[in-house]
Amino acid sequence: MSFARSLLPSRSALFFSGVLLATTAAMAGGNHAGGHHESPIGKPGVASKVNRTIEVDMSSGMRFKPSDIRVKQGETIRFVLKNTDSVKHEFSLGTPQELLEHYEVMKKFPDMEHDEPNKISLAPGQQGEVIWQFTKAGAVDFACLHVGHFDAGMKGVVKVAAK
């Protein structure tokens, strides 16, 4: 291998750089000062403004219980998530496209950690929460994006009724 060729980045480095760039660009489009648009799935909620709490069990059989949730536009929901299974699970809110894109990244980096307000990973026996405000009517999907879990049917939908 020539010296010049050895300086070229590997395919995995290029892929990771692309994922990092896409993630940064997506996060830059979020709802913050500067007039950027709001996400189609809503925005992080404020704990003091929670309208109600919904408990969701991440259970054996690769299922969320409940998997069909109904809220009203404008509501801020505290999701209390309990992993009662013997394997790690995650709860990730997003559009179908966002979830599929993130699932592809999880396939390549299965041990990645999340620090986004619309996601939480929980080890067996753990409990956690996601607080989210649903600002637009329609459907917001959620899924466990650990490898194999999404394919096994570990997904659900939040149906957001218009005001």
With respect to residue 127, please indicate whether it lies within any of the assigned structural domains. Answer: yes
The domain of 154 spans: 41-161
CATH number, domain of 57, equals 2.60.40.420
With respect to residue 23, please indicate whether it lies within any of the assigned structural domains. Answer: no
With respect to residue 52, please indicate whether it lies within any of the assigned structural domains. Answer: yes
Section 126-132 average pLDDT: 98
- According to DSSP, residue 130 is labeled E
Amino acid at 64: F
With respect to residue 3, please indicate whether it lies within any of the assigned structural domains. Answer: no
With respect to residue 146, please indicate whether it lies within any of the assigned structural domains. Answer: yes
- More confident site: 38 or 98: 98
By mean pLDDT, which of 16-30, 35-49, 79-93, 98-112 is the weakest?
16-30
- More confident site: 152 or 114: 152
Section 70-99 average pLDDT: 97
Residue 162 predicted with pLDDT over 90: yes
Number of structural domains, the chain? 1
With respect to residue 17, please indicate whether it lies within any of the assigned structural domains. Answer: no
Residue 3 predicted with pLDDT over 60: no
With respect to residue 1, please indicate whether it lies within any of the assigned structural domains. Answer: no
Residue 76 predicted with pLDDT over 60: yes
Average pLDDT of the chain is 83
Q: What is the pTM of this model?
A: 0.76
Nearest to 90 by CA among 146, 130, 43: 146
> Which pLDDT value is given to residue 91?
97
> Which pLDDT value is given to residue 136?
96
> Which pLDDT value is given to residue 37?
52
With respect to residue 80, please indicate whether it lies within any of the assigned structural domains. Answer: yes
